[in-house]
């Protein structure tokens, strides 16, 4: 990364890649230090005593949290169109369907789309979003973080999906190990997240649109994600930086933030939630497969 490194953080924590190498502080934003592993390149927000249930509230989906969604429920049509594209990609990997688990399923829009092809299950931290899921028939969505009891009762799963979620998971290596345990043979893990090694991330540094600590706890690179899942016995079978359909309001808001402008454009709702194709090639999609 093209950043000036501060002295290494004094920590005995093993990196997600399994390394115990130095993790220098490379930047500070919103009062939080960001470290980088010298082996795999993953970035880490240094947060003490992180509690996801207390941190993520309904405001995360309604524009009350800086850097988060501005109107998630109001953007349903756009989000579901995007999720249909992700689903079609997944069906090519698993044409036979099976059981699908989504971590961080929000209002369940992806699960609603996937329900025609898979038996769907999910986890979501925000209580209001879980209530929405239950009201729309997604009875297997559980509130909170991933638990082994739930995975044991409903697994194994043929597909496990984390769409722009893995960067929010504090104990990400332990969670990945738990998911691998309940992933069926020949099953796949589909992950989308920002690419901290991308050119936009390198050029914009602290102003990168996805550099939002403590909202984002991790800043992954293809190498760091591949190494973490490879250590669990999963093989990387896909890496890409696909186009996405994104609500116009979010595109404008993130673009302005990279210019150092914190402003939400006063657009009428039809324009705010309208989807436009977008790609800065700084967000990646990766797939990891379990041997049969």
98 token code pair: 């099976």
265 CB-near residues (< 8 Å, 6+ apart):
249, 252, 253, 256, 272
Three-state DSSP state, 125: coil
Q: What is the predicted pLDDT for the residue at 251? A: 77
Give the integer Cα–Cα distance in Å for 207 and 224. Answer: 22
- Span 161-177, mean pLDDT? 97
- The yes-or-no verdict on residue 235 having pLDDT over 80 is yes
Q: What is the predicted pLDDT for the residue at 60? A: 82
Higher pLDDT, 56 or 236: 236
Q: What angle do CA 288, 289, 292 make, to 5 degrees?
A: 165
For residue 122, CA distances in Å to 57, 106, 142, 145, 267 come to 17, 9, 6, 10, 33
| Band (248; pLDDT cuts 50, 70, 90) | confident
| Band (267; pLDDT cuts 50, 70, 90) | low
Is the pTM above the cut of 0.75?
Answer: yes
Q: What angle do CA 283, 191, 234 make, to 5 degrees?
A: 130
Pick the CATH number of 25-289 from 3.40.50.150, 3.40.50.300, 1.10.3720.10, 3.40.50.450: 3.40.50.150
Higher pLDDT, 288 or 268: 288
10 token code pair: 């004094």
- Span 144-166, mean pLDDT? 97
- Span 244-267, mean pLDDT? 74
**Distance between first and last Cα of the chain:** 37
Q: What is the predicted pLDDT for the residue at 97? A: 96
Three-state DSSP state, 193: strand
pLDDT averaged over the chain? 90
Distance of CA 58 to the CA centre of its chain: 17
Q: What is the predicted pLDDT for the residue at 272? A: 64
| Band (6; pLDDT cuts 50, 70, 90) | very low
150 CB-near residues (< 8 Å, 6+ apart):
123, 142
23-61 tens-digit pLDDT: 999 999 999 999 999 999 999 999 988 888 777 888 888
Give the integer Cα–Cα distance in Å for 59 and 46. Answer: 23
259 token code pair: 């210019």
Give the integer Cα–Cα distance in Å for 52 and 123. Answer: 13
Give the containing element (helix H, strand E) for 110: helix 109-114
For the chain, give the percent of residues with pLDDT over 70.
90
């Amino acid at each position: 990364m093209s950043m000036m490194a501060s002295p290494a953080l004094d920590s005995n924590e093993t990196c997600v890649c399994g390394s115990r190498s130095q993790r220098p502080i490379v930047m500070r934003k919103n009062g939080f230090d960001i470290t980088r592993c010298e082996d795999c390149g993953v970035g880490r927000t240094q947060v003490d005593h992180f509690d996801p249930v207390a941190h993520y509230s309904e405001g995360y989906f309604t524009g009350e949290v800086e850097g988060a969604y501005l109107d998630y429920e109001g953007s349903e049509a756009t989000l579901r169109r995007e999720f249909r594209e992700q689903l079609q990609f997944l069906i090519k990997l698993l044409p036979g369907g099976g059981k699908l688990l989504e971590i961080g399923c929000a209002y369940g829009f992806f699960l609603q789309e996937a329900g025609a092809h898979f038996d769907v299950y999910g986890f979501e931290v925000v209580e209001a979003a879980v209530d929405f899921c239950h009201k729309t028939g997604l009875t297997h969505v559980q509130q909170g973080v991933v638990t082994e009891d739930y995975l044991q009762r409903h697994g194994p799963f043929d597909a496990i999906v984390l769409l722009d979620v893995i960067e929010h998971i504090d104990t990400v290596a332990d969670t990945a190990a738990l998911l691998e345990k309940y992933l069926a043979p020949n099953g796949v893990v589909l992950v989308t997240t920002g690419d901290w090694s991308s050119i936009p991330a390198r050029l914009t540094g602290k102003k990168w649109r996805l550099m939002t600590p403590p909202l984002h706890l991790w800043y992954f690179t293809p190498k760091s994600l591949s190494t973490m899942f490879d250590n669990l016995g999963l093989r990387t079978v896909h890496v890409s930086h696909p186009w996405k359909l994104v609500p116009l309001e979010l595109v404008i808001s993130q673009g302005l933030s990279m210019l150092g402008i914190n402003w939400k454009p006063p657009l009428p709702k039809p324009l705010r939630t309208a989807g436009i194709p977008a790609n800065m090639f700084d967000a990646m999609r990766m797939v990891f497969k379990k041997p049969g």
